[in-house]
Structure 1
Amino acid sequence: MNYYELLGVKETASKEEIKRAYVIKAQTNDNQPSQAMKQALLTLTDPLSRIQYDCTLTPTQSTLSVISLEKLRAMNYYDCLKINVYANQETVKKSYYEQIKVFSNELYPDHFILVREAYEVLSNPTERKKYSAQLDSRTIHSICSRKSEQSFISSNPTNPFG
């Protein structure tokens, strides 16, 4: 049985959410959690065990969803974190945490280093200004226009030409 389903949590659940779900499930079973529930708690709250478990769940999906190292190196820091040039610090941090879930240090150490480097630069306002100044104005324009095109298309579903 899938541990996430057993505890009733999503695969993106935090340790605290997993622990809460375990307690709630144990209470519904008259405070007698099953051996499978205990194993699920131990596996999903230990980072290394959780990564190994996730790999056994969807081995083909995990390899397909990961960008190659060469493509990641070719990206600028904004694309690496999947954010807009005008993203605020909170968005940078949130995106960073999402990316390190994908590129865990144990499974993808080189990817992790690049994502961490992007975060360190973009989370520091002074370093971010220097980095943005170094970027080619065409690159910044393409990043901004891509994001604005996506929002325009989603807000205008009809075809303006016909």
Structure 2
Amino acid sequence: MSANVEIDFTLNGVGRRVSVTPGMSALSLLRDVLDLTGTKYGCGEGECGACTIRVDGVTVNSCLMFAVDCDGREVVTIEGLASDPRAQRLQQKFVEHGAVQCGFCTPGLVVQANHLLEAHPHPDAAQVQRGIEGNLCRCTGYKKIVEAIQESGRDNWGQSKFDRS
């Protein structure tokens, strides 16, 4: 039997200390231990993107990450984006464009799209498609999702942090 491990990390801007089992996934930590259910369990294999979170500014599939690997890191979930006005407007664009049906994929898509728009605030359709290719949606197709992300970029994001002008 494995002993629990104490980890310290920042979750949605708040320092946390929790006890986890060595084999626990970050997804299980978020949903089952911390009761943050916005991050969804989809495939458990890193194929669908429903569990997308940000760790130290990079998007990852939380089903593939061990909870112990959150130690010392900054983790942001869909709940953590609730206080970001741009992320709120991005979510509103999803609604306005009809890019949400069952909603299961939406949290992961919003986290991924937010990450994309921070780097590329005015993406063309091909850039959006590449940016969300790890996030599957079985209900809508992707046209409305791509349009929502592009419009959000046009309306809500300024210059890219990678632009040098």
TM, length-normalised to structure 1:
0.25
Q: Which has the higher strand share?
A: 2
TM-score by length of structure 2 reads 0.25
Name the one with the larger helix percent.
1
Larger RCO, structures 1/2 (Cα 8 Å, 6+ apart): 2
